[in-house]
Amino acid sequence: MNTAIIIGVGPLNGLGAQLCRRFAHLGLHVHAAGRTQTSLDALVSLIESEGGRASACVTDATDEAQIISLFDRACAAGPPALALYNVGNYTPGRISEMTAEYFTAGWQGACFSGFLFAREAVRRMQPGGRGTILFTGASASLRGRADFGAFNSAKAALRIMAQALAKEVGPEGIHVGHIIIDGVIDGDKVRKRYPEYAEQHGVDGMINIDGIVDAYEFLYRQEKAAWTFELDLRTATEDW
């Protein structure tokens, strides 16, 4: 039980990579999964330079065979203590102008892949009757918003799937949690793609990654007589 599998890992100053670092610091061998080898290799080098253990696992979360293969490799020495699903690509667009293919791809990327990942995690954890499965949510998990119908519907469906799973496997000793990130994360994505937004909002107007990672660690450490399913995180100034 000293393994973590974390999928949805991209740039170093992004949530997925920082979650990997934290759980490596806690002594877990982290299997970091994403689609880009170079990003994963940079993260593994950093974790190893900090004294941790990590492996890079190039995986497309929407591909069932790749997810099964990821778990087969990562669980060779036993079931994981933690399986963390952080995928969730932003798919903007107006519903009236959207193709069926675009909507379906958005759902596959942010919901269906979460089902594939969670199913494999549960199958590996069930025999030992323990383990933690965590999902990353967003404002979209709770609210529909004009021009974001594909993303909102996929994130909301992921949340309800996670809730159903929590009720299914909780009695078997498996803790399922969902973290709602209600606002923009202060990380590489916003700073590189939308620098003007980062400039305008500053560090207090975006959600701090370390603070988010603390929430995942809190859920991971909980004792089973006092489990939390869901936490929501936002800045002090968020209009919600």
* Residues in touch with ligand NAP (CB under 6 A): 7-11, 14-16, 34-36, 39, 59-62, 86-89, 109, 113, 136, 138, 181, 184-185, 187, 189-190
Question: At its nearest, how many Å lie between ligand NAP and the CB of residue 40?
Answer: 8
- Residue closer to ligand NAP by CB (options 77, 236) is 236
Question: Which CB, 52 or 137, lies closer to ligand NAP?
Answer: 137
Alpha helix stretches (DSSP H) within the chain: 15-25, 37-49, 64-74, 100-107, 113-125, 149-169, 188-193, 195-201, 209-221
CB of 66 to ligand NAP, least distance (A): 8
CB of 220 to ligand NAP, least distance (A): 17
Least spacing, CB of residue 87 vs ligand NAP, in Å? 5
- 203 touches 186 (CB < 8 A): yes
Q: How far apart are CA 157 and CA 167, in angstroms?
A: 16
β-pairing, 131-138 vs 82-85, is parallel
Q: For residues 101 and 223, which CB has a smaller minimum distance to ligand NAP in the complex?
A: 101
Q: Toward ligand NAP, which CB reaches closer, 60 or 172?
A: 60
Closer residue to ligand NAP in complex, CB, 3/113 = 113
Nearer to ligand NAP, 93 or 128 (CB): 93
**What radius of gyration do the chain's Cα atoms show?**
17
C-beta of 58 vs 128, nearer to ligand NAP = 58
- Reading the block at residue 116, the tokens are 């594939």
CB atoms within 10 A of CB 173: 13
Work out the burial of residue 89: count CB atoms within 10 Å of its CB; fewer than 13 is exposed, 13-18 middle, 19 or more buried.
Answer: middle
Question: Least separation, in Å, of the C-beta of 105 and ligand NAP?
Answer: 10
Using alpha carbons only, what angle is made at residue 133 by residues 132 and 135, rounded to the nearest 5 degrees?
140
Helices within 37-112 (DSSP H only): 37-49, 64-74, 100-107
* Nearest distance in Å: CB 163, ligand NAP: 16
User: How far apart are CB 38 and ligand NAP at their closest, in Å?
Assistant: 9
The whole-angstrom separation of Cα 140 and Cα 178 is 13
